[in-house]
Chains A and B, each alone.
Chain A
Amino acid sequence: MASADKILKALSDSLGKRIIQTRTLQPGKSYIQVQTGAHKDAVRIVLQEDNEAGVSAITGVDLGETIELMYHIRTCDTIITIGAEVPKKDAKIESITDIFPGANFHEREVSDLFGVTFEGHPNPKRLILPEDWPENVFPLRKEVSVANIPSKIGNFGVSKDEKHVSSEERLVNIVLGPQHPALIEPEKFSLRVDGEIVRGVEPRIGYVHRGIEKAAESRTYLQDIYLVERICGICNACHAACFCQTVEAIMGVSVPPRARYLRTIILELNRIHSHMLLLGHAGLEIGYETLFHYMWRDRELIMDIMEALTGNRVIASFITIGGVRRDLKEEDVPKIKAELTKLKERLSFYKNLFESDSTLKMRTRNVGVLSKQDALKLGVVGPVARGSGVNMDVRRDEPYAAYNEIPFNVITYDEGDSWARLMVRLDEVGESVNIIQYALDHLPTGPYRVRVPRTVPTGEAIGRVEAPRGELFYYVKSNGTAYPERVKVRTPTFANILSFVHIAEGGNVADVPASFVSLDPCFSCTDR
C-alpha cells in the first residue's frame, strides 16, 4: 500500500521531463499528463508502487485536433489519472495489455468508439459496435452527429470467419447466446469445448449498446440523471448517485447531511435488492427452484421499503444534483425498521442454508476459481474481487454519501470460487441492513436538497460508487454550458466480464451457468 503522494513522487522522479503537466482534478485526485509513449511507463510505475492497483477505466475525450486518452488507475484510496494525447489523423498508441491484462476490453472499447489503434493489443477486434459498422465512423468523436449514425445494421455480431468446428482438432465450438436460457440478456460467448471441458471462451458484447454516453452529451445535466438511471434497472440509484456526485464535484456543491444519509439508505436498498435477486437467480441456475422462490419473496420486503421511500419500486428517480427529491416521512421509519428486522431473521436462515446444504455446495464449491493474483491482474471489482480475497470497497476506501460516519465491515472470502462470491453477497446484505438501521437511527434533520443552477462551470471530475456489482466509475467533463462535454461510464460488469474467460477455461460445460451467474453479469450495464 502506497499513498498517492509517494506514487506521484515516484512518477516525477522516473519520468522527469516526459511529464507535460500535473494538475488536480478535484481534491485528492491528481492528473498527470505525459508525452505519448511515456504513458506505458507511467502506468507501470503506478502498478509497481501499489501492488493492489489496477486500471479502472480508459477514457477518451475528443479535443478537436487530438484525442486525449486518460488511464484512470485505482490505488488504495484514490484514483490517479495518467493522460496522453494522440493526433486524430493518425490515432495510434501502444497497448498496455501486456503489463495489465485487465485493460483488454477498455482498449477495445476506446478503439471502437474513438478510432484509436492500440498497437500490440492481443485481440483488436470489435467489442461494442457491430461487425458491419462503417469503417471510419467513430461514434464518440465530436464530428459524428446523431443524424449521420447509420440506422440500419445487418449481421450483428456475426463475423465472416466464424465456424462451428474450430480449426483445432477435437475442439467443438459451442455458442452460448445471444439468446440462451442461462443468459437473461443478450450477449454471446463462444466456448471451445473438448468433450465436456471448456478450453477457451471468446466473449462478444455490444448487443444492447444504446449509445448512452453519446446521448448524454446532447441532453442537459438534469435530463442525464434520468438517462443514466436507465443504464441499469437494478442498480439505478448507484448510477444516479455517481453521476450527481461527479457533477457536484465540478460545481463545488456540498450536499446537506440529511440528503447524504438518505442517499446512503437508497444505495444500500439497491445493494440488498440486487444481491438477493442474484442469489435467487443463482439458485435457479443450479436447479434449486425453492431457493429462488424464497429469495425473491423476501426481496419483496425491500421493494416495499423502496416504494415507501421513493414512491417507485425499481427505478427510484430519487437522487438529484444537490440532494434527493423526496424526504423520508417520519411515520414510515418504524415500518421500515420492522421490515428490516424481518429480513434479518431470514438472512440467518439463508446463511445456514448456504453453509450446510450439500447439493448446493456440490455445485458451487471449487467451481470457477479465481485466484487473488488473477483477480488483481484482470482488474475485477466488487464481490468478485472480494470473493477472491482482494480487500477493496469504495465505500471504505473513498467514502461518499454518509459512509464516513457509519460503521460497517468489508466482507472478504479467500476461496475465490462461486460459493465464496455468493457468500460475500449474502454477508453484505446483512451489513447493508445494519447500515440502513444505523442511518435511520442517526438521520440528521434539516433540508434534504439544495437548489443548484442548471449550467455547470467548466471543469472535469471523477466519481466512484460501490455499486452492488462493484466499483462504478464516472468521468464527467463540463464545458460551461447546461450540456456535458463528455460523460464516461465504466460499469462494474465491464470490468468483471473478462474474468469469465479465465474462470470458465478448464472447467466443466455444465458448470458454465453456475460460475457465470456468480459474477452477477449485467449486460445492459456492460454495453450501455
Chain B
Amino acid sequence: MSLDLNFVFRVLVFPGFAFILLFTMFCDWVERKIEARMQNRMGPIYTGPVGVLQPLADFIKLLTKEDIVPFNAKNFVFRFAPIVSLSIFVFSFAFLPIDGASVVSGSNFEGDLILVLTLVSIANFLLFLSGWSSTNPYSAIGATRVLTQLLGYDIPLFILALAPAFLAGSLNIAAIANKQYVPFAFLIPWTFALFIINLQAELEKDPFDVPHAETEIVAGYETEYTGRRLAFLKLAKDVQMVLGAAIAVELFLGGPYGPIFYGLSAVWYTLWFVLKLLIVVVVTEYLTCIFARLRIDQVLVVNWKLLLPLALLSLAVTVGVGLWLNPL
C-alpha cells in the first residue's frame, strides 16, 4: 500500500493535528484576551502581534522547565495521563467535519456522536486519574471533585445532545450538521442554552470551576504537575475547550455549513466553522466572567436538581414540537 500523501497531510497538517493545536492556541489567546478586557485588564500584548503568540510561548516555556515527579506518585498513570488525555481529545476531532469532510474520509459513521461523547468522558476520567495518582491532598480533593462533577453533568450532556440527533434523524455528527438549513440553535434555543451551561461545567469554568478552586485546593488535580507534563495537561484542557465548543457548533450551529460560499468550498467551510466556534468561545468566556464560583454541594444541586430535569424536559419538548420543526 503506497503512502497516500493526501491522507498524511489531512491527518498531520490540515484539518488534523497541526491545525487543531494551532487553532487551540489561538482560541486560548481569544479566551484570555476577552476575559482580560472584560475584567479591565490588558491581557497578552507582548508576544507577537497583539500578543497572539503568548499561548505558544507559554507552552514552549513550560516544555523547557524541570520535570518533577513526586516520590510517591504512581509512576505510570501520573506520567501518561496528560498525554493520553490530550491524544483522546485530539483524536475526537477526527469525527467532526471541519472543512466539510471528516479528517479521514470515511471515518464518520452512524453513531459517531455517541463515540465522541464517550471519548470525552474517558478523557475527563483520565484527568481524575492524573490528580488521584499525584498523592497530594489538594490533587486528591480536586480529582474527586472532577469525578463528582463528571457524574452530574455527563448524563444531561448526553440527553441534550440527543435533541439535535432526533431532529436530524441521525446519530452521525456530519449528517446532523448537514441537515441544519436553519441552525438548531434557533429552532430549539432552550436546548442550546442548556447545552452551553452544561458545557461550562464540562470545561470546569465559572460558576462550576470547583476542581480548580485556587483558594481552597491550590491548583486541584494539576498541583503536582510541572514542566512538560503540565504543558500537556494544560494543552489537553485547552483542546477540550475547543472540542466542547466544536461539538456545540456541529450540533446546534450547523457545523461548517454557512449561508455564503462560492469558489473553493473547503476554505469557506473552515471559515464558517472557525467563526461559529469563536462565537461559542466568546459566550462561554462571558459566562465565566460574570459569575462567582459555586460550592461543590451547590454545583451538585444545580446538576441533579436543575440541569437533569430540565434536560429531560427539553428533550420531551423537542420531541413534541419536532413534527412541526422537521419540514424546516
Contacts and interface: CB of A to CB of B under 8 A. Distances in A.
Interface stretch (B62-70, B98-106, B188-196, B213-221): B213-221
Contacts of A363: 292-295
Interface stretch (B36-44, B80-88, B263-271): B36-44
A362 B296 CA distance: 12
B215 A181 contact: yes
B291 A181 contact: no
A181 B218 contact: yes
Nearest to B290: A290
B215 A285 contact: yes
Nearest to A176: B216
A283 B295 contact: no
Contact of A182 (B206, B215, B289, B298): B215
Contacts of A283: 292
21 contacts: A181-B215, A283-B292, A286-B292, A287-B209, A288-B206, A288-B292, A289-B39, A290-B39, A291-B292, A293-B40, A294-B39, A294-B40, A357-B292, A359-B291, A359-B292, A362-B292, A363-B295, A509-B216, A510-B213, A510-B297, A513-B215
A465 to B, nearest CB: 31
Interface string B201-224: 000001101100111101000000
Given A357-B292, A359-B292, A363-B295, A510 B39 contact: no
Interface in B292-313: 292-298
A408 to B, nearest CB: 30
A359 B215 contact: no
A288 B293 contact: yes
B215 A196 contact: no
A289 B289 CA distance: 7
A303 interface: no
Interface string A263-301: 000000000000000000001111111110110010000
A482 to B, nearest CB: 46
Interface string B279-295: 00000000001111111
Given A293-B39, A510-B296, A284 B291 contact: no
A287 B38 contact: no
Contacts of A284: 215
A357 B291 CA distance: 8
Given A510-B213, A513-B215, 6 more contacts: A182-B216, A288-B291, A362-B294, A363-B293, A510-B210, A510-B295
A281 to B, nearest CB: 10
A224 interface: no
A289 B35 CA distance: 10
Contacts of A287: 206-207, 209, 213, 215, 292-293
Contacts of B290: 290
A293 B41 contact: yes
Find the residue from A181, A294, A512 having the highest chain B CB count within 10 A: A181
A508 B215 contact: no
A511 interface: yes
Nearest to B138: A181
A360 interface: yes
Count class of interface residues, chain B? 20 to 34
B298 to A, nearest CB: 6
Contacts, number: 64
B38 A290 contact: yes
Interface of A: 181-182, 196, 283-291, 293-294, 297, 357, 359-360, 362-363, 508-513
Interface string B30-56: 000000001111000000000000000
A19 to B, nearest CB: 52
Contact of B295 (A181, A285, A511): A511
Contacts of A288: 206, 291-293
A388 B290 CA distance: 29
B301 to A, nearest CB: 10
Given A284-B215, A293-B41, A359 B297 contact: no
A362 B291 CA distance: 11
Contacts of A512: 216
Contacts of B291: 288, 359
A166 B207 CA distance: 34
A512 B141 CA distance: 15
B58 to A, nearest CB: 19
Given A510-B213, A513-B215, A286 B40 contact: no
A295 to B, nearest CB: 10
Nearest to A509: B216
A513 B217 CA distance: 11
Find the residue from A196, A287, A512 having the highest chain B CB count within 10 A: A287
Contacts of A360: 292
A359 B107 CA distance: 43
Interface in B109-145: none
A182 B217 CA distance: 9
B40 A513 contact: no
A511 B216 CA distance: 9
Contacts of A182: 215-216
Nearest to A289: B39
A293 B210 CA distance: 20
A510 B294 CA distance: 10
A73 B292 CA distance: 41
A465 B56 CA distance: 53
A290 B289 contact: yes
Contacts of B210: 510
A176 to B, nearest CB: 10
B207 to A, nearest CB: 5
B173 to A, nearest CB: 33
Given A181-B215, A287-B209, A290-B289, A508 B295 contact: yes
Nearest to A363: B292
A362 B298 contact: yes
Contacts of B216: 182, 509-510, 512-513
Q: What are the 9 A-B residue pairs with the smallest beta carbon separation, nearest first?
A: A287-B293, A288-B292, A293-B39, A359-B292, A182-B215, A510-B295, A513-B215, A359-B291, A286-B292
Nearest to B298: A362
Contacts of A511: 295
Contacts of B298: 362
A64 to B, nearest CB: 49
Given A285-B215, A287-B213, A297 B40 contact: yes
A182 B293 CA distance: 15
A283 B214 CA distance: 12
Contacts of A290: 38-39, 289-290
A164 to B, nearest CB: 10
A115 to B, nearest CB: 38
Nearest to A512: B216
B130 to A, nearest CB: 20
Nearest to A510: B295
Find the residue from B209, B210, B215, B293 having the highest chain A CB count within 10 A: B215
Contacts of B41: 293
Contacts of B214: 181
